[in-house]
Structure 1
Amino acid sequence: MGVRQESAAWAATLRRHTIPTELGPCTVRVQQGFGNGSPTTAAPEVYLHGAAGSWTSFRPLLSEASPRDRVLIDLPGWGESTGEARLEHLSIEAMGHAVTDVLNSLNYTRWNLVGHSMGGFLALHIAAAWPEQTASVAAISPTSFAVSKAARKPLRSLPRFPAVVGMMLIMRTLAVLGPAAPPLIGAVGSTPLMKLLMAPFFADPRGISAGVIRRLGHDVRPAGFSAAARAVAHYDFDRWRGIRCAVLATRGETDVFTSTSDLDRLASTVPVVQAVAIQHCGHFANLEQPEKVLRLLEDLWSE
C-alpha cells in the first residue's frame, strides 16, 4: 500500500493511499477526524462518487473538520483508479467488495456511507451485504430503479427518462474511443459547450462555476459509466430489504436521474428510510446545496 502526502494547501490533512482490489488498484484519500485517537475508534465517513465523477465531487462537503475519519475513494475505473482497472469484471458485487477491501485494509470495522448517484446505489448494496458493519447510509440522488430499467430497456424507457437513456447512449458511443475519450471530454469541458450539456443536471446552471464544470468534464469516464450501466441492469433490489441501518435518501426537486417514484419505492423496500426532496436543486445536491446536505448528514449521524 503506497502513501504520499497531498500537495494542495486546502487538502493538507488528506493522505493518499493506493490499495489493491479485485477490480484493480484503488486510489483513496483519508483524513483523520479530530475526535479520533486511532482510525478504529469510530465509524468513518466513507464517500462514494457517481458514475460521472470522482472523490472531488464531494469537496464542498469537506470544508469543515469532522470528528470522524473521512475516506474518499476513487472507485476502480474512475478518477485516479483507471490505470489497471478491470472493467470487464465490474459488477455491483465486485465494487462492493472493492470498497470493503479498502476499508478493511485501513483497519476500519464499521462505517457511515455517503454515496452520490451510482455511489448511493453502491452504498445501499453494501449496507445490505454487510449489515453489521454499516452504521448508516446517506444516498444523495441514488440512481436505482428507473436507471436499472433504462439500462435493460432503453428504448422503452426513453419517453419517461430521456436524460438517463440519452446519457447512457452517449457514454456507450464515447466508450468506443477507448483511452482517447477522457481527453476529448476534458477538452470540451473547457468550453461553454460543457456547461450547456451539464445544464439539465442542475436547477440553476448559472450558479455553477466554470471550475466545477471543468472538473466534472475531467472526471467523466465513458467506459466506466457504460460498465456501471450494465452492472445495474439486472440487480435484485429485494436485497435491500435486509438493510438494518438508518437510511437517508435525497433527490433534487428537478432531478433528472432520480425520480419521486424511485424514493417512494425505496421507502417501501428498505426498512428505515428518511426521504427528503431538496428544493432549488438538481442531481448534484453535493455541489448545488452542500449546506443543506451537511445539515441532513449531521442529523443522520447524531441519531
Structure 2
Amino acid sequence: MSVQQKNAPTLRRHILPTELGPCMVRVQQGTHGPRAESGTPEVYLHGAAGSWTTFQSLLARATAHDRVLIDLPGWGESTAGARREQFSIEAMARAVVGALSALGYRRWKLVGHSMGGFLALHMAAAWPEETAGVAAISATTFSVSDACGAPLRGLYKFPAFTGMLLAMRSMAALGAAGTAVVRTIATTPLMRPLMSPFFADPAAIPPAVFRELGDDARPASFSAAARAAAHYDFGQWRGILCPVLAIRGDRDVFTPESDLARLAVVVPQTRLATFARCGHFAHIEQPDHVHRLIDELWSR
C-alpha cells in the first residue's frame, strides 16, 4: 500500500451560482497554460462524506490540462445557502455543468469517488458528447440506491452503508448540534476505529485524513443525497458513449463486486479494476495505482 497525503498545489478559487446554491470551485492550471488553450479538463467529484480535499493525493503530479475540483452544493465550502430540499442527481449534475460552463469549459473528463462516481456516470449519460471519459472510484450505485429506497431491508442486505445512513439521519435531525458532534468525534482517537471499515489498513492512514473526513461530514447533505439516489433510473446509463473505468477495493464495504458487474452490463465499454488490500478510498490508499489506470483511460 502507498498512502500519501500531500499539500495541494496552488489552486484558483471561484464562487459560482447554481440552482442548488453557491458553489466553491478550485482550478489547478495545466501546463498548457490558461484554460482557453488547455483543452479538456479533469473534473473531480467527491463523495457524500467528503469534499475536494479527499483528492489531494492525486494532485501532486503536473498535468497538461486543467484540473477542476468542486465542493458540491451542501459540502465543503459550498454549504452557505445550499438548497438541500431541491437535491436530486439531475440537479447536482446541472450544478456541475453550469459551473464548468461558467468557467469556459465545453468538454470534460470526470473523476468521481463514491457518490461522485454515481454523479459522474449520470453526467456521462446526460451529456454524452461533452463527456470524454469517466473514472469512477468506488462509485456507490445500485446497492446504495436500493438501500436508500428501503432502509429496513438494507440493514440486512447492506448493513455498512445503511448503518451509516441511519446514523447520519439521526445527526441531521439534531441540526448544527449533530454536525458538531461528528466534528468533535473526529478530533478524538475514536475516529480511527469508526472509520476503519473504509480502509484496508487503517493503521497506515495519516491522522489528518480522519480529521478531514470528520470536518467534511455534513449529515443533512448526506441524508439529502441518499434521498436523491433512491429509485434512480439506471437505464439512463445505456446512453453513455465514452470509455468508463470502474475501480473498487477488494475490501470495499460500500461498493460490492456485484455493482461493478452490473455496471458492465449496462455500460459495456466499462473497464473493471479491483485493487487488492484496498478499501473504499483507493485514491488515498493506492494513489499511484489509481493514477496509472486513469492515465491509461485518458489515452483511450
The TM tier, using the shorter chain, reads over 0.9
Are 2:279 and 1:288 aligned?
Answer: no
Tell me, yes or no, if the aligned pair for 2:172 and 2:179 is still in contact at 8 Å. Answer: no
Q: In 2, Cα distance between the equivalents of 1:137 and 1:80?
A: 25
Report the alpha carbon displacement of residue 65 of structure 1 after superposing the two structures with TM: 1.2
Which residue number in structure 2 is paired with residue 109 of structure 1? 106
* Contact 2:9 2:28 (C-alpha < 8 Å) held by counterparts: no
Q: Greater shift after overlay, 33-42 or 57-66?
A: 33-42
Structure 1 counterpart of 2:272, which letter? A
Hey, what does 2:137 align to over in structure 1? 140
Aligned residues: 295
Residue 186 of structure 1: how far off its partner (Å): 1.2
Q: Which has the higher contact order (CA 8 A, sep 6+)?
A: 2
Q: In the alignment, which residue of structure 2 is the partner of 1:263?
A: 260
Residue 279 of structure 2 aligns to which amino acid in structure 1? Answer: G
Where structure 1 has 5 or more consecutive residues not aligned to the other structure, the ranges are: 1-8
Structure 1 residue 120 displacement after superposition = 0.0
Determine whether 1:97 maps to 2:94.
Answer: yes
Structure 2: unaligned runs, 5 residues or longer = 1-5
In the alignment, which of 206, 224, 236 is matched to residue 203 of structure 2?
206
Paired position in structure 2 for 1:42? 39
Indicate the larger mover: 39-48 or 98-107.
39-48
Counterpart code for 1:140: I
Structure 2 residue corresponding to 1:17, chosen from 11, 14, 18: 14
Q: 1:256 to 1:10 in 2, by over 3 A?
A: closer
| Preserved CA contact (<8 Å) 1:36 1:42 | no
Shift of 1:160: 2.4
What does residue range 112-131 of structure 1 map to in structure 2 within 5 Å? 112-131=109-128
Separation in structure 2 between the aligned mates of residue 295 and residue 41 of structure 1, nearest angstrom:
21
Distance 1:157 1:45 in 2: 34
For 1:171, the aligned partner's letter is M
In structure 2, the residue matched to 1:230 is 227
1:6 aligns with none
> Match of 1:251, SS?
strand
Task: Decide whether the 8 Å contact of 1:244 with 1:271 is kept in 2.
Answer: no
CA distance in 2, matches of 1:11, 1:238: 37
Distance 1:33 1:67 in 2: 5
Give, in whole Å, the separation in 1 of the partners of 2:141 and 2:46. 14
CA deviation after TM superposition for structure 1 residue 13, in Å: 2.3
Given that 2:32 and 2:38 are in contact with CA atoms closer than 8 Å, whether structure 1 keeps it comes out as no
When normalised by structure 1's length, the TM-score is: 0.95
Q: TM-score by structure 2 length?
A: 0.96
- The percentage of aligned residue pairs carrying the same residue is 61
Q: Which residue of 1 aligns with 2:240?
A: 243
Tell me the C-alpha RMSD between the 2 structures: 1.2
Counterpart residue number, 1:279: 276
| Aligned AA (1:153) | A
C-alpha displacement of 1:164: 0.8
Are the aligned partners of 2:52 and 2:76 in contact in 1 as well (CA < 8 Å)? yes
